[in-house]
Homo-oligomer: A and B are copies of this chain.
Amino acid sequence: MRATNMNEGDRPLASLPLRPPRAPHSVSGHSPATASAFLLPTRFGAGGLGGCYAPETLMQPLLDLEEAFRKAVEDPSFETELKSELRHFVGRPTPLTSAPRLAAKLGLKALFLKREDLTHTGAHKINNAMAQALLARRMGKTEIIAETGAGQHGVAAAAACARLGLSCTVYMGVVDMARQAPNVARMRLFGTQVVPVEAGQGTLKEAVNEALRAWAARCDKAHYILGSALGPHPFPTLVRTFQTVIGEEARAQVLEQTGALPDSVIACAGGGSNGLGLLVPFLGDALHRFAVEAGGHGSALGEHAARLDGGRMGVLHGCKTLLLQDQHGHTAETASISAGLDYPALGPELAALALDGQIEVLRASDDQALEAATWLCESEGILPALESSHALALLPELAKRGFATVLLGLSGRGDKDLATYQSKLGI
């Protein structure tokens, strides 16, 4: 057998497609440039989603953050730092795995999985968490605040902070703490303080509320690492920019492995960070893009987290977007078996792309997601996160619609969800 050279060091360097939002959905009439002190576009799409609806206390920190971000992405030393951590710590590039047995089972010609489950800490969240932690260090911040739903962003932030020597506090709803208990333990082992949030339904929305409050109190010393493509500008742009590495890699990999693009690309969407991360680099391509929301256990308000059909335009957590709300403008309760999708607002850029016809948004129910997880386990030996299972659940629908080659974003691994899988599937 020929001894060729298997050497991580020889891998081509990561490209960080750190660039402002694309023209088609970056400019908005809603936000006259004169009034905003931001230099990057703050709005997305024809509807002008996004913006920066923040209390005044957070405005200067957000301006500072945008400035630091703009400078960092122009600074080759930041690129070097980030690439090095992504490669040597996070484990990028992640593989693109062909899943022939599952494809055959579901009537697809080919299925490719972008394996964010193989990153350090087990989900795509670390791409953004590590990048923002490096940014925070450049800004001279010594403390990190983060929110978490599924716990994957919290674990990612905790890991990045331990690695860089930053202190870290993570806010997490008490319901999420119970259903994602392994991730609570992991954060604590990394030296992070996990603060239980009792308010409301004890899930991601309340955790964001509390993290925003904590940041307002500590914004002189602390950076807030928001975990999805939501919140006030510049967070959606920042998070999306740090996540498009997923789609940039995947696009090159599928071309390299098959010589062609797939006919469809699909990812689950909570706030939208992995969805945008995977889909944005395919925006110029002639293929179908899908994002899958949590259909929960019913179609009435409060029984799901499907914002496209169920939501109306509104403002929550600093941005304007599709929001599940009652007629008074109060945020509605949501329900999903997956903590990471259990959030009432679709990230503004993803919502804009959906409204502008660039991305089709579908939903998968709790039961569909659970069943889809077993397909991947049994056909390919990969245990998906409950979030990612929502994307898997739509594959039969894609096959029915005539799509044959699908690229799917496997945003995370299912270890955190074992207790749920066990109890719901009777394992």
Contacts and interface: CB of A to CB of B under 8 A. Distances in A.
Contacts of A158: 381
A3 B244 CA distance: 13
A321 B96 CA distance: 42
B415 A9 contact: no
A368 interface: no
Given A89-B95, A163-B380, A165-B101, A422 B185 contact: yes
Contact of A12 (B5, B94, B162, B257): B5
Interface of A: 1-18, 73-74, 76, 79, 87-98, 101, 115, 117-122, 158-163, 165, 182, 185-186, 188-191, 245, 248-249, 252-253, 255-257, 373-374, 377-383, 414-415, 418, 421-422, 425, 427
A13 B96 CA distance: 15
A423 to B, nearest CB: 10
A4 B86 CA distance: 14
A383 B94 contact: no
A4 B9 contact: no
Contacts of A189: 373-374, 377-378, 383, 414, 421, 425, 427
Nearest to A120: B118
Nearest to A182: B418
Nearest to A184: B427
Number of copies: 2
A410 to B, nearest CB: 11
Given A5-B252, A122-B415, 10 more contacts: A1-B16, A1-B73, A1-B79, A6-B249, A7-B12, A11-B12, A87-B95, A88-B96, A163-B381, A415-B415
A369 to B, nearest CB: 14
Contact of A381 (B76, B161, B373): B161
Query: Considering residues A117, A165, A377, which has the most beta carbons from chain B within 10 angstroms of its beta carbon?
Result: A377
Contacts of A12: 4-7, 10-11
A424 to B, nearest CB: 11
B9 A379 contact: no
A93 B186 contact: no
Query: Considering residues A160, A186, A255, A381, which has the most beta carbons from chain B within 10 angstroms of its beta carbon?
Result: A381
A4 B13 contact: yes
A245 B6 contact: yes
Contacts of A79: 1-2
A379 B253 CA distance: 34
Contacts of A373: 189
B182 A415 contact: yes
B5 A15 contact: yes
Contacts of A161: 381
B415 A383 contact: no
A18 B1 contact: yes
B14 A4 contact: yes
Nearest to A421: B189
A374 B185 CA distance: 12
A181 B9 CA distance: 36
Nearest to A426: B188
Given A1-B79, A118-B120, A382-B120, A418 B96 contact: no
A143 to B, nearest CB: 16
A18 B119 CA distance: 28
A91 B91 contact: yes
B93 A89 contact: no
Contacts of A245: 6
A122 to B, nearest CB: 8
B427 A188 contact: yes
Contacts of A9: 252-253, 255-257
A278 to B, nearest CB: 14
Contacts of A377: 162, 189-191
Query: Considering residues A6, A14, A378, A383, which has the most beta carbons from chain B within 10 angstroms of its beta carbon?
Result: A6
A162 B380 contact: yes
Contacts of A16: 1
A190 B6 contact: no
Nearest to A248: B6
Nearest to A16: B1
